[in-house]
Structure 1
Amino acid sequence: MAIYYKGIIFLAATAFLGEGIEILVNMILARELGSHGLGLYMTILPTIFLIALLASFELPVSISKFIAEREDRYHRNILHHAITVTITFTVILLLVGAALLPFISVFNGYHPYIRWLVLLLIPVISFTSVARGYFMGRQQMGKIAVSNFLRKMVQLAGLFVLFRFFDFDSESSLLVSISVLIASEIVVFLYLILMFIVQFQTIRRQPFSNLNRKIVRKNLMAVSIPTTGMRLFSALTGAIQPFIIKAALVHAGLTGTIATEQFGMLMGVAMSIGFFPAFIAHSLLIVLIPAVSKTYSERDYVSLQKMLQQSMLLTVGYGVAAVTIFYIFAPQLTSLFFKSSTSAVYLQLLWPFFLFHYFVMPLQGFMIGLDMIKEAFFHIIWSTVISFGIVLWLGSMPEWRMNGVIIGMNTGTVLLTLMHYVTVCKKIGVTVFLKGLYPKTMER
């Protein structure tokens, strides 16, 4: 448990600095790209994240879970098979990506180089995922924290230098912004691979035992495939969300340009501010997956109940404080990006979305650790369908427009949180008021 608490504190501390840098990054993007350019950047970003997700194949989750549940003597063999799987998967994905990218219409209207820069992400993300998963499973959160901070720092430095000393037109500015984002991932790749090689030299000198190759791959695939499916669905819906929102706004009577600008203020300003405290939730997610997996494999339900209670209390503490500050100081906060009262209203209306999103991430960490990925997937599907339905219904009405879009987003996140929470409580034997129902051990 001591490692668990240290991991959360260290990750949260460095993530706080990273999120502060992220705010500065978005401020630079807002000022250099303008409202329309920022809207285009935020529109293409989910597609880039989707490709990165496919490249990772959720190996950080599956490897960390498997490593946490197995003794040290098996780690060398697990990594050997994981690397073999990664090489095969990366080659296949590169070939498929090279064949399909020219025909993906989402990239139309952007600089042609962006397609091929995104293709470069595939091997970078794939091999980074192996190292990330190993360090997560070993509870070496310092390396994960440094890599996350390094990504943000490189992106900030790159954008500052390039936009400070060079002039670009609107299309080139967008290309530069995405290029810097991908360059930051390459730096993280180099750092984590170097740390992994150093660590692997130590592993090679230790006694080891082999696991059957089919067993290792089966265990990895048992987590990677459903988790990738879950994340893929979220990424796909995230990729089409900009078009759904803008289509609803256009149907409500706005022009395409104004709809893009409003979407840019929603995602580039309000979301950037509202997601700032989510570094704590993300830190909890990373630490909880291996911690819950190990504790659940030992059938220690008292510790699981304690972890849930502490995670929820921590989230209530910082979440309520954060959304209160956002609501009161929305005009001052959004003015750091644009001199517009519209984005301040968006930030205030989205307080339920932000607050419940802070709960979703640690709850997903619990569900993955408790082998409830399928249930989490179904929850996401239901909440997304309902959210998009409300977005299209209310957002298309001239009297609602963006207010209707925000109501749909709020509804989806609240529903997802409640479904996750009730399911986790039932699984580990606590009531919704976090009172234990079962003794320390019970049948699975």
Structure 2
Amino acid sequence: MKSFYKGTLILIVAAFFGECIEFLVNMLLARELHEEGMGLYMSILPIFFLIYVIASLELHISISKFVAENKQAMHYNLIIHALKMAAVVVLVMCVVMPFILSFSSIMDKYHPYIKWLLITLIPIVAFSSIARGYFMGVQQMGKIAFSNFLKDIIQFGLLFLIFNLFHFNQEKSLLMAFFVLIGSEFLVFLYLINLLILQMRIMRRGTNSWTTGKHARQKLLAVSLPTMGLRIFHAITNAIQPFLIHTALLSAGFGAVVATEHFGMLTGVAMTIGFFPAFIAHSLMIMLIPNVSNAYKRQDKEKLRVLLQKSMSFTVLYGVPAVIFIYFFAEPLTSLFFSSTSAAYYLKLLCPYFLFHFFVIPMQAYLIGLGLVKDAFIHTVWSHIVAFLMMYILGSQASLNMGGIILGMNTGAVLLTFMHYLTICKKIGISILLTKSRSISIK
């Protein structure tokens, strides 16, 4: 448990500074792009994340799980096979994606170069995910923490320089924002891949166990594909959400431009502020996957219980004070972006959504470690069905509009949290209070 606490602390400290910088990045973007431009930026981000998920093949998750569960002699061979898989993914996606993006009407509102920036992202993500997975698995969290911080500081520095030295129209400002985003990913890729190459040289000189490519692919894809399915579903729903909200607001009597502005305030301002403390949840997630995987393989039921208890207790300790602070200081927080009473109102209404997601993030990592990715996927599907139905039905009402949309989002978050939690408790054989331990075998 000592290494768990140490690794988590390193990630939290680095993530805190990274999150502060990311907060400043969003403030820069909000002031440069304004309400409508921020709405356009947030509308295309889900496409960015969808490409990111598919290109990564979620190999960082499967590799970290495999490395944590197996002896060091097997690591070198696994990475070689993972690199070959990544190369195939890059080749296929670089052929297919230009056609998909060219025939998509989604890109019509944006500069044509953004499409090529998105394609450039594919090899960057595919290979850096392998390095991330390895260092997560061996719990060298300092490297992961520094890479995350490096990305944020580069993005902020470049945006600050570009927007202060030059003046662009809205279309070119959006292009610059995405150019900097992809550029920061590329520099982090160079850092991680160099570290991985150095590590592989050391491993190659040692004693290594060899396995067939077929066996390695089966082991990796057994975790990667379900996890990628979950992430793709998230990315697709995030890509649909802007259009769902926009359509609901139009039905409620909003104009097209006003609907885009309110979506920008919801996602670009309220969500940015509310999810600021989520860096702690993501740090827990990174540490939980290898630790839960290792404990589950060894059938260490007590460690599984303690890991769940500690992660849930820690979430309560930071999550509850965080949302209370956000609720009472909503107006001054949103005014850092631009003056809007609507943004502050949306931020207050979203407090339950933020709090329950602070619990969901580490619990998803726990489910992955237990091999319950399918359950996590089913829970996510049902929670989104309920949330989207409520968002459209209530959001279309003129008397509710954005309030109805946020109510639907809150309901989905609560439902997802309880489904995850009850499934974990049942799997490891403990009560919902995390105290009683039933004498059952974990399978």
Question: Counterpart in 2 of 1:185?
Answer: 185
Question: Counterpart in 2 of 1:309?
Answer: 309
Q: Helix, strand or coil for the counterpart of 1:426?
A: helix
* Residue 349 (structure 1) aligned with residue 368 (structure 2): no
Question: Counterpart in 2 of 1:408?
Answer: 408
Give the superposition deviation at 1:443: 4.4
Question: Counterpart in 1 of 2:320?
Answer: 320
Residue type at the aligned position of 1:94: C
Residue type at the aligned position of 1:326: I
Residue type at the aligned position of 1:126: A
Question: Counterpart in 1 of 2:94?
Answer: 94
Give the superposition deviation at 1:5: 1.1
Question: Counterpart in 1 of 2:250?
Answer: 250
Distance 1:412 1:330 in 2: 23
Question: Counterpart in 2 of 1:220?
Answer: 220
Question: Counterpart in 1 of 2:30?
Answer: 30
Give the superposition deviation at 1:436: 3.1
- Report 1:218-297 matches (<5 A): 218-297=218-297
Residue type at the aligned position of 2:199: Q
| 1:74-127 superposed Cα distances (whole Å, 9 cap, x missing partner) | 111111111111111211111111222211221111000000110000000000
Question: Counterpart in 2 of 1:198?
Answer: 198
* Residue 70 (structure 1) aligned with residue 70 (structure 2): yes
| 1:170-220 superposed Cα distances (whole Å, 9 cap, x missing partner) | 111111111111111101101100111111111111111112322211110
Q: What are structure 1's unaligned runs of at least 5 residues? A: none
Question: Counterpart in 1 of 2:428?
Answer: 428
Residue type at the aligned position of 2:441: M
* Residue 5 (structure 1) aligned with residue 1 (structure 2): no
Distance 2:227 2:105 in 1: 27
Aligned residues with identical type, % of pairs: 52
Q: Helix, strand or coil for the counterpart of 1:108?
A: helix
Question: Counterpart in 2 of 1:398?
Answer: 398
Distance 2:42 2:74 in 1: 43
Distance 2:225 2:263 in 1: 32
Q: CA 1:140/1:128 → structure 2, altered by over 3 Å: closer, same or farther?
A: same
Contact 1:4 1:291 in 2 (8 A): yes
Contact 2:427 2:442 in 1 (8 A): no
| 1:285-322 superposed Cα distances (whole Å, 9 cap, x missing partner) | 11111110011000001000000000000000100000
Contact 2:391 2:404 in 1 (8 A): yes
Structure 1 residue ranges, 4+ long, deviating more than 6 angstroms after superposition: none
Q: Helix, strand or coil for the counterpart of 1:434?
A: coil
Distance 1:191 1:2 in 2: 28
| 1:357-406 superposed Cα distances (whole Å, 9 cap, x missing partner) | 00000000000000000000000000000000000000000000000000
Residue type at the aligned position of 1:296: Y
Contact 2:391 2:406 in 1 (8 A): yes
Distance 2:134 2:13 in 1: 21
Contact 1:62 1:224 in 2 (8 A): yes
- Report 1:77-116 matches (<5 A): 77-116=77-116
How many residue pairs were aligned? 443
Distance 2:236 2:418 in 1: 23
Distance 1:292 1:214 in 2: 26
Residue type at the aligned position of 1:442: S
Distance 1:144 1:104 in 2: 35
Residue type at the aligned position of 2:273: I
Contact 1:50 1:232 in 2 (8 A): yes
Distance 2:260 2:282 in 1: 29
What's the C-alpha RMSD, in Å, of the aligned pairs? 0.9
Distance 2:286 2:304 in 1: 16
Distance 1:120 1:24 in 2: 25
Question: Counterpart in 1 of 2:176?
Answer: 176
Distance 1:238 1:82 in 2: 28
Q: What are structure 2's unaligned runs of at least 5 residues? A: none
Distance 1:214 1:171 in 2: 47
Contact 1:25 1:156 in 2 (8 A): yes
Distance 2:197 2:146 in 1: 17
Residue type at the aligned position of 1:160: F
Question: Counterpart in 1 of 2:339?
Answer: 339
Residue type at the aligned position of 2:373: I
Give the superposition deviation at 1:65: 0.5
Residue type at the aligned position of 2:68: A
Higher mean C-alpha deviation, range 167-176 or range 375-384: 167-176
Higher mean C-alpha deviation, range 205-214 or range 375-384: 205-214
Distance 1:71 1:438 in 2: 31
Give the superposition deviation at 1:438: 3.3
Question: Counterpart in 1 of 2:441?
Answer: 442
Contact 1:289 1:366 in 2 (8 A): yes
Residue type at the aligned position of 2:326: F
Question: Counterpart in 2 of 1:383?
Answer: 383
Contact 1:277 1:322 in 2 (8 A): yes
Give the superposition deviation at 1:442: 2.9
Distance 1:124 1:376 in 2: 28
| 1:233-281 superposed Cα distances (whole Å, 9 cap, x missing partner) | 1100001100100110011000010000000000011000000000000
- Report 1:146-161 matches (<5 A): 146-161=146-161
Contact 2:155 2:180 in 1 (8 A): yes
Contact 2:428 2:442 in 1 (8 A): no
Q: TM-score, normalised by structure 2?
A: 0.99
Question: Counterpart in 2 of 1:126?
Answer: 126
Question: Counterpart in 2 of 1:140?
Answer: 140
Contact 1:305 1:436 in 2 (8 A): no
Distance 1:391 1:68 in 2: 41
Q: TM-score, normalised by structure 1?
A: 0.99
